[in-house]
């Protein structure tokens, strides 16, 4: 019977010593790689967080700017009916009454009020939409009727029923218009 020798030989002992010495270096190397990966991930998260904060800041600044620019929108829509009524009142005054000395002061006052209202609109970025003679633009005009016409190209605005308005670059109220069409044969 052959008896096994359980005593370590020199080669096995050397390997054990080398492995024991390398183990801390391998563990340190693995830990360093792990920390490097964690650092890279943390840096990426930081960059994403900064970008997100910057986007939120830009969005908030835009919302504040829009709120300032268009704050008068609701009030402007309400006051447009006053401007419409004033304009209708002025256009309804017959020429004879405009010449009457008693009515001249009233007409002059109404005209001055209309000019002041237009001035206030202009200061707040509210402008009239030009419609008469323009091509129908569904973003600014609302066609209410078609009018047969030999004089105007089909799709051209030939009648303005109600004035439209813009507030800066946004539509406040579309112009209500009559559009030319080819006459029936």
Dihedral in degrees, nearest 10, Cα atoms 98, 102, 107, 110: -170
Q: How confident is the model at residue 64 (pLDDT cuts 50, 70, 90)?
A: very high
pLDDT at 74: 87
Q: Identify the H or E element spanning 177.
A: strand 175-181
pTM of the model: 0.65
Q: How confident is the model at residue 180 (pLDDT cuts 50, 70, 90)?
A: very high
pLDDT (tens digit per residue) in 75-130: 899 999 999 999 999 989 888 888 888 888 888 999 999 999 999 999 989 999 99
| pLDDT reading at 171 higher than 90 | yes
Beta strands in 8-58 (DSSP E): none
pLDDT at 70: 83
> Taking the alpha carbons of 21, 26, 32, 38 in that order, is the dihedral positive or negative?
negative
Strands 141-148 and 126-128: unpaired
Q: Identify the H or E element spanning 53.
A: helix 10-69
Instruction: Please calculate the CA angle 68-74-79 and round it to the nearest 5 degrees.
Output: 120
Sheet strands side by side (includes 165-167)? 126-128, 165-167, 170-173
pLDDT (tens digit per residue) in 10-23: 555 655 555 555 56
User: Under a CB-based contact definition with an 8 Å cutoff, are residues 165 and 129 in contact?
Assistant: yes
pLDDT at 53: 96
Count other C-beta atoms under 10 Å from residue 89's C-beta: 13
Within 8 A by CB and 6+ apart from 87, the residues are 114, 163
pLDDT at 161: 93
């Amino acid at each position: 019977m052959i008896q096994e020798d359980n005593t370590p030989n020199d080669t096995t002992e050397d390997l054990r010593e080398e492995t024991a010495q390398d183990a801390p270096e391998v563990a340190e190397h693995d830990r360093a790689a792990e920390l490097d990966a964690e650092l890279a991930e943390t840096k990426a998260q930081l960059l994403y967080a900064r970008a997100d904060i910057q986007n939120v800041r830009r969005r908030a600044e835009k919302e504040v700017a829009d709120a300032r620019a268009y704050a008068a929108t609701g009030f402007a829509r309400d006051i447009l009916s006053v401007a419409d009524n004033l304009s209708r009142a002025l256009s309804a005054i017959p020429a004879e009454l405009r010449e009457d000395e008693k009515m001249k002061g009233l007409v002059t006052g109404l005209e001055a009020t209309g000019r002041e209202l237009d001035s206030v609109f202009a200061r707040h970025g509210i402008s009239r939409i030009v419609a008469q003679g323009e091509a129908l633009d569904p973003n600014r005009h609302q066609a209410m009727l078609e009018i047969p016409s030999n004089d105007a190209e089909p799709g051209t605005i030939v009648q303005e029923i109600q004035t439209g308005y813009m507030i800066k670059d946004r539509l406040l109220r579309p112009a209500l218009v009559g559009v030319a069409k080819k006459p029936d044969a």
